[in-house]
Amino acid sequence: ENGYDAWLHYPRSSHAENRPAWCNVIVVTGGDEVLQTAANELQRGLTSMFGQQPKINDVPVDVPFIALGTFKDHPLVAERFSAEEQADVNAEGYRIRGTEMINPAQSASYDAIKGPYVTVAGQTAPGVLYGVFHLLRWLQGRLDGELPLQATSKSSESSDGPFLDVLSNPVNPIRMINHWDNMDGSVERGYAGASIFYENNALTKNMDRLRDYARLLASVGIQSLSINNVNVHQVETELITDKYLSDVARLAAIFRAYGIQIYLSINYASPMQLGGLTTADPLDPGVAEWWRAKAREVYAAVPDLGGFVVKADSENRPGPFSYGRHHADGANMLADALQPYGGRIIWRCFVYDCKQDWRDRKTDRARAAFDYFKPLDGLFRDNVILQIKNGPMDFQVREPVSPLFGALQATQVLLEFQITQEYTGQQRHLCYLVPQWKEVLDFDTYTQGKGSTIKRIVSGSLGSNGSPASPSSTKYTNYGIAAVTNIGADTNWTGHLLAQSNLYGYGRLAWDPELSADEIADEWVRLTFGGYRNRSHTGNSKHLVPAIKKMLLDSWNIYESYTAPLGVGWMVSPDHHYGPDVDGYEYSMWGTYHFADCRGIGVDRTTTTGTGYVGQYCSPQADIYESTETCPDELLLFFHHVPYTHVLHSGQTVIQHIYDTHFEGAERAANLRDTWVSLRDHLDEAIYAQVLERLEHQTEHAQEWRDRINTYFYRKSGIADQKNRPIY
């Protein structure tokens, strides 16, 4: 047992005799590849759970059965739902319905059907595939024998009840994963081993692993995938040449079978590096022509390529700035080249001056994306999407939400999260990120009045006049969420087994931002630790689920408490970003300062005395952040420079808060380990051991964080800990 199957391990039911009769036959019609995938996945899951392989057929050879299909191609499916019920399903949504008796009068073409059946239906094949994964989750949730497996009773109306009647539509049209994989096999900010895509500047030979990855992604509704690092080096620049295009086509084929479209990160300077041109000026007709020809070539090889992801003029990457052009010029030129093929340009807004002078307190990296992109609002083509990181800096444990969301009102946006834990413990520390993402999605920008939440903005449901956009309007399909993945070639995918919950949680949240962090944790723990991973064999043991859930739900707060305090961020070792180094970035040029001295700490970003960043938010958020009276404690040092004796809303001084949270945080990290140890008897031994190793390390490393941070601030401030704990 090693964790490779992740949440798709489908443990054999200890109540296999309860196997519902409708699990005998899967009826699917048509040759669609994704529908076949759906049927195969269902067959695989049912076989694993019940020990008997259902038949797959295009007619109901036996009753009862499960029917899979789209409304338009499968009469047996269509007749289960009224026209209105069908119309409620969006392009990738699904309906699942269990039933009692079929009325033969209503199914003239299938009058052989006498028994109950279950239907999984969608407008499209991917919708059906997502429905199948839902059905499998539902069944697994019932394998402990506590809940009935029959889908035929009408006793409950809830979608979660024993009578299956589910409607589910993805809220975000684009649900994307970004890989930062390099073709030499390394992964930028990867903490789970080498790339699963590439080795030695060639495509991997392990296509099975890629297929297994596609399964994991599709099972949580991911349908877009960029397959190479946004920092595009010379080798990856050649991905769009005949040297590698056939490889890209092979990758596309694997993911296509799971309804996933792939994207390539491109080098903005390709016309020079590949085409021998002397310029990459977006307004140069030769450059535009070069890209048009390139698009033709690329789309001939991969007709359904999603498009290009572009990191331009950022951290020393080339871009339109070199030619005195703005980013709409660059993005639109590329968008025009891809437009004939339905391709999209995903243009990243992570653009800032990475060579700032730290003495110049007027320059504020946090301001950069808004200052730069807000004036370009409305200038982008319909197939351009701006990808914006959740915060204005860079995936710190705590940041405010980027003020660019909502400020752009005539431009399509994607929200970018980081699943890989670059600044949150690099998958050696436990940090379940779903609660952090929830806070971002629920944040109200007030840009179009109350209720202008991030989740409405990024799903495209907040139209430019404040009213919901029409789902049929194509203008609003280019919205959604992207995230940097946390997987690699480690057997368990994520290094830290419990970090699988972040990949799972990201997909579930991108599908439905209304799910709570608790619900998602609950699902993940049950799916991951059910059955044979649970040595007590009582199914989802009463101890295991709440205990592991609590570990997950507390972990972000714990990590925050022993690392950089009160939203100030950074304090990590430069370059690799692991472990404490309070001044690591303080005197360099990256714009990531805390300004700690003997009097105080924090960055004054107010409009009155500071960098003016606060002014990028709408009222009332701007007013809340502007004053220390109202600024939330957890973001105080992001927005204000205060003395160590400043009293927080909690009643504690800043310095005492630092000491308290760091002592408590390190202790709580040790408690995570102790909880795990207490679960030993319930867990598979190998799974137990691999997680324990990480938690032991976290316990020690949290103490190092505690001591380094506390000592630094004790020496800077000269103020002793009120509780006289050891500070060196």
Rg (CA), the chain: 26
Least separation in angstroms between CB 187 and ligand BDP: 10
Catalytic residues: 315, 394, 422
Least separation in angstroms between CB 240 and ligand BDP: 20
When the beta carbons of 136 and 230 are compared against ligand BDP, the nearer one is 230
When the beta carbons of 440 and 683 are compared against ligand BDP, the nearer one is 440
When the beta carbons of 188 and 664 are compared against ligand BDP, the nearer one is 188
When the beta carbons of 186 and 628 are compared against ligand BDP, the nearer one is 186
When the beta carbons of 395 and 511 are compared against ligand BDP, the nearer one is 395
**Conformational region of residue 576, where left means phi above 0, alpha means psi within -120 to 50, and beta covers everything else:** alpha
Integer Cα distance of 20 and 147 in angstroms:
13
Least separation in angstroms between CB 642 and ligand BDP: 27
In 10 A of CB 372, how many CB atoms?
A: 17
Least separation in angstroms between CB 479 and ligand BDP: 20
Residue environment code for 480-501, b if the CB has 16+ CB neighbours within 10 A, otherwise e: bbbbbbbbbbbebbbbbbbbbb
Strand, coil or helix: 348: strand
| Sign of the four-CA dihedral 290, 305, 462, 413 | negative
Does 394 engage in binding with ligand BDP (CB under 6 A)? Answer: yes
- Alpha helices (H) along 82-175: 83-87, 125-140
Least separation in angstroms between CB 442 and ligand BDP: 23
Under 8 Å between Cβ of 8 and 32: no
Q: Which of 189, 605, 646, 706 binds ligand BDP (CB under 6 A)?
A: 189
- Alpha helices (H) along 303-405: 327-338, 368-373
Does 601 engage in binding with ligand BDP (CB under 6 A)? Answer: no
Integer Cα distance of 52 and 12 in angstroms:
10
Q: Which of 183, 230, 312, 503 binds ligand BDP (CB under 6 A)?
A: 230
When the beta carbons of 394 and 399 are compared against ligand BDP, the nearer one is 394
Q: Which of 1, 188, 583, 586 binds ligand BDP (CB under 6 A)?
A: 188
Does 350 engage in binding with ligand BDP (CB under 6 A)? Answer: yes
Q: What is the DSSP code (8-state) at residue 657?
A: H
Least separation in angstroms between CB 481 and ligand BDP: 15
Q: Which of 18, 231, 477, 628 binds ligand BDP (CB under 6 A)?
A: 231
273-332 residues near ligand BDP, rule: CB under 6 A: 311, 315
Does 6 engage in binding with ligand BDP (CB under 6 A)? Answer: no
Under 8 Å between Cβ of 587 and 358: yes
- According to DSSP, the β-strands at 307-310 and 55-57 are unpaired
Query: What x-and-dash track marks residues 571-590 binding ligand BDP by CB under 6 A?
Result: --------------------
Integer Cα distance of 553 and 66 in angstroms:
37
How many contiguous H segments (helices) and E segments (strands) does the chain have? Answer: 20, 18
Least separation in angstroms between CB 391 and ligand BDP: 11
Which residue is closest to ligand BDP by CB? 394
When the beta carbons of 57 and 186 are compared against ligand BDP, the nearer one is 186
418-437 residues near ligand BDP, rule: CB under 6 A: 422
Those residues whose C-beta lies under 8 Å from the C-beta of residue 243, and which sit 6 or more positions away, are: none
Q: From the centroid of its chain, how far is CA 396?
A: 15
Q: Which residues of this chain interact with ligand BDP, rule CB under 6 A?
A: 188-189, 230-231, 311, 315, 350, 394-395, 422
